[in-house]
Amino acid sequence: MYVGIVRITVVMDQSHSLKEKRMAIRRIKDRVRERIGVAINEVGEHDRWQLAELGCAVTSADRAKALEILDDVVRVASGGATGAGGAVTAIAKDVWTFDAPAAPIAQVDDRTGSGDKAAGAAGDDWMPDEWRDKLDP
C-alpha cells in the first residue's frame, strides 16, 4: 500500500479578514471534494488572513495512482485558489510505502462497548477486594 500526502500553501491578497479567508478556503475545499472526491483541510496558518496551508492524504495500491490523485488535488486547488482571488505559492508532496504489520486489537464487548471491560468480563479479578466485599451481602 502507498500513502501520499500533499501540503499546499495559498496566498490570498484580496482577503482582509479571517471570515473572507474562511470563505475562500471553503470554496477550494468544496471544489476539490466535488471534482476528485477527496477531503482537503486547512492544516496550518490558521490565524493569518492572507495565508493558508491546506493538506490532503490519499492511499492507493499503486504508487503512480497515488501521485496522480495528488497532482489532481493540486491542479483543482490551484484553480479554486485563483477563482477565490488567491494563488498557490508552494507545494510539498511525498508518497511512501506503508507495510506495517497488522496488530491485534482487543475484542469489544457489545454489551459494554469497551475492549478493556470485555477482557475482565470473564471474572471480577479487576475489582479491588474492598469493593467486592461491599457488593456481596
Pair (134, 74) in one structural domain: no
Q: Tell me: do 117 and 70 sit in the same domain.
A: no
Q: What does the pLDDT read at residue 136?
A: 62
- Domain match, 29 and 78 both: yes
Give me the phi and psi of 102, to 5 degrees please. Answer: -70, 140
What's the CA gap between 76 and 58, in Å, rounded?
15
| Predicted model pTM | 0.69
Residues 79, 113, single domain; the answer is no
91 φ, ψ (degrees, to nearest 5): -135, 130
Q: How many domains does the chain have?
A: 2
- Residues 89, 120, single domain; the answer is no
List Cβ neighbours of 72 (8 Å cut-off, separation of 6 or more): 35, 36
Residue with cell string 505559492: 89
Write out the three cell numbers for 75: 491542479
Handedness of CA 36, 73, 50, 45 (dihedral sign): positive
Q: So what's the pLDDT on residue 87?
A: 87
Distance CA 54, CA 43 (A): 5
Same domain, residue pair 16 and 73: yes
Do 53 and 111 lie in one domain? The reply is no
Contacts of 54 (CB under 8 A, 6+ apart): 7, 8, 10, 25, 28, 29, 40, 41, 42, 43, 77
Task: Give the C-alpha distances (Å, rounded to integers) separating 46 from 39, 53, 97.
Answer: 18, 8, 30
Q: What is the chain's pLDDT, residue by residue, as a tens digit (137 residues)?
A: 999 999 999 998 888 888 888 888 899 999 999 999 999 999 988 888 888 999 999 999 999 999 999 999 999 998 888 877 788 899 999 999 988 888 887 777 666 655 555 455 555 566 677 777 777 65
Q: Are residues 112 and 80 in the same domain?
A: no
Is 62 in the same domain as 11?
yes
Q: Do residue 92 and residue 129 come from a single domain?
A: no
Shared domain for 85 and 115, answered yes or no, is no
Whether residue 70 sits in one domain with residue 132: no
Q: What is the pLDDT of residue 7?
A: 95
pLDDT at residue number 119: 52
Output the domain CATH number for residue 85: 3.30.70.1120
Host domain of residue 44: 2-97
